[in-house]
Amino acid sequence: MGKLQPKLFSTMKKYSKQQLIKDITAGFIVAIIALPLSIALALASGATPEQGLYTAIAAGFVISFLGGSRVQIAGPTAAFASIVAGVIATNGFSGLVIATILAGIMLILMGVFKLGSLIKFIPFTITTGFTSGIAITILIGQIKDFFGLTFNEAPIETIDKVKEVVACFGTINIEATIIGGVSLLILIVSPKLLKKIPASLIAILVSALLVKVLDLNVLTIGDLYEISSELPKPSIPSFSFDTVKAVIPDAVTIAVLAAVESLLSCVVADGMIGSRHNSNMELIAQGAGNICSALFGGIPATGAIARTAANVKNGGRTPVAGMVHAVVLLVVLLVAMPLASYIPMPAIAAILFMVAYNMSEWREFISIVKHSPKSDILVLVVTFILTIVFDLVVAICVGLVLSTLLFMKRMSDETNAYGWKEIDEATDEDNIGLKTIPEGVSVFEITGPIFFGVATKFSDAVLRADKTKKVLVLRMRSVPAIDATGIHAFETILESLDKKGIKLVVSHLNEQPLKILKKSGIYKRIGAENFCPHIDIALKRAEELVKTAENV
């Protein structure tokens, strides 16, 4: 992916006054969009409103400054909401800070060791499954505030929240529900009528005005939280072995999710501006940004696809726009943060309903169910359910294991080994292409990769070769790769052939298998003269070996 250099440095070489104006404009607009979202996502995560802004400011600035993308906008995102809420509830905010710092270190190491490209090996079915699952957990978590319910308990797990909603739905607050409904309606209709003004900002202003003027019995942020407009003071938490041990799984989850979501956002942004991001530099920036966010009292952050898209659409083309967005939010924190106390909680819930809907990927979910193999559907549904019932760590781990097993099964079905004489010429449409096999020679054709899932099938089929033959030809033009278990299968075959006095000739060996066989010593053992580039040459070589054996 090239050298580890922030995109900011390369974009400054040809920076212009015109682009500066566009970046400032885009940064200001993105900040307006990010303001209500940062507050809402912080509350959904069990943090305070200002901590959402701390995150967008600290992480947003650092990630733009160091990032590997020209236009990535970072901050708190919905993907982390349920994870963060669970960590805070279990280990307190200090536990979250430690988990985020550890996750940041992991992300930096991933970038330094250039593991950015490995993210692409996470199947689309898994990312769709856990993203849709997270959307459901966010939606369920906001039902209480949207309807103004009064809970008897304070459940943490999603299933427990569903039970509490059902048990306490009789406490519904009609005035809160109306405010939530009005806010949701504005969020749906406003983008179609007022495209230049963020719908979430309109919903917050209108709902706050209605609650204040009509003196409605609706909880606001100020009723639940003490709003602070002070600058966050950096602090280092006290690390203990027990706390670190307790939050390691959460740190891994945060690191993996931050890596996946930020790099997916980078890919989307690349398509919008015709550029190419540096994934390893982006991971380092994400790590540094999360560490700074944690030290300044924020929550985990990652690249935000919606805010990144808004940046691009409004002319942002360099990391300066993301830095401007962070500075604007800093000014808002210092000047206007107390006004956030008037924001109604049902309006926050409505905003998060829309966030959940937009991130749900329900179209992709339905498309996979309709058009994909049953194995992919199984991975999707399992990951989706486990995300809701348990957590993201369990969902991703099980999803990856299941995907790997199903992939192995699929590859084993594609790999085959058969002797030409075993083909039924009456039903084989391609029998006209079969070569004339010399007397005393048997030919086996291998198709598909020879790996640990199918190595036994490969060796068993070849070892069925006629014992009366003098030479065995392996045609391997359709074998793209071989692993250590495949090498062991080769050794087993060679030992068996040696005992039977049968020579081995290999035809059309591809680059990777050839390299592996040379490294293992099998190439030398078989003999370079017995590796032929084409089946015709291999058959002639086999015929020579038969004649030599007969003359001995």
Q: Where are the alpha helices (DSSP H) in 79-151?
A: 81-112, 124-147
CA–CA dist 166, 212 (Å, integer): 30
Q: What residue has token string 């369990």?
A: 394
pLDDT exceeds cutoff 70 at 421: no
Task: For residue 516, give the nearest of 537, 488, 538, 542 by alpha carbon.
Answer: 488
Relative to beta strand 416-419, strand 441-447 is: antiparallel
Task: For residue 333, give the nearest of 8, 56, 11, 75 by alpha carbon.
Answer: 56
Q: How many helices (H) and strands (E) does the chain have?
A: 22, 7
SS3 content of the chain, % helix, strand, coil (to 5): 70, 5, 25
Angle at 179 between CA 230 and CA 218, to 5 degrees: 60
* Overall size of the chain counted in residues: 552
CA–CA dist 52, 300 (Å, integer): 9
Task: For residue 102, give the nearest of 237, 213, 199, 209 by alpha carbon.
Answer: 237
Tens digits of per-residue pLDDT, 234-285?
A: 888 888 899 999 999 999 999 999 998 899 889 889 988 989 999 999 999 9
Tens digits of per-residue pLDDT, 96-142?
A: 999 999 999 999 999 999 998 877 778 889 989 988 998 999 999 99
The token pair that represents 196 in the structure block: 């230049």
Task: For residue 412, give the nearest of 460, 380, 444 by alpha carbon.
Answer: 460
Residues 497 and 504: beta-carbon distance below 8 Å: yes
Q: What residue has token string 């949701």?
A: 184
Identify residue 153 by its one-letter amino acid code: E
pLDDT exceeds cutoff 80 at 407: yes
Burial of 273 (0-12, 13-18, 19+ CB in 10 A): middle
pLDDT of residue 511: 94
Q: Where are the domains of the chain?
A: 18-361, 416-422+436-551
The token pair that represents 395 in the structure block: 């969902």
Task: For residue 92, give the nearest of 450, 464, 425, 100 by alpha carbon.
Answer: 100
Residues 295 and 301: beta-carbon distance below 8 Å: no
- Report, in angstroms and rounded to the nearest whole number, the Rg of the chain calculated over CA atoms: 31
Angle at 330 between CA 329 and CA 335, to 5 degrees: 95
Distance between alpha carbon 9 and the CA centroid of its chain, in Å? 27
pLDDT of residue 217: 95
- What's the pTM? 0.78
CA–CA dist 340, 92 (Å, integer): 24
Structure-model confidence comparison of residues 155 and 183, the more confident one = 183
User: In the predicted model, what is the mean pLDDT of the chain?
Assistant: 90
Tens digits of per-residue pLDDT, 286-314?
A: 999 999 999 999 999 999 988 999 999 89
Tell me the CATH architecture of domain 416-422+436-551. Answer: 2-Layer Sandwich (3.30)
Q: What residue has token string 């806010």?
A: 183
CA–CA dist 262, 112 (Å, integer): 16
Lowest mean pLDDT among 339-343, 383-387, 450-454, 536-540: 450-454
Instruction: Name the percent of the chain lying above pLDDT 70.
Output: 96
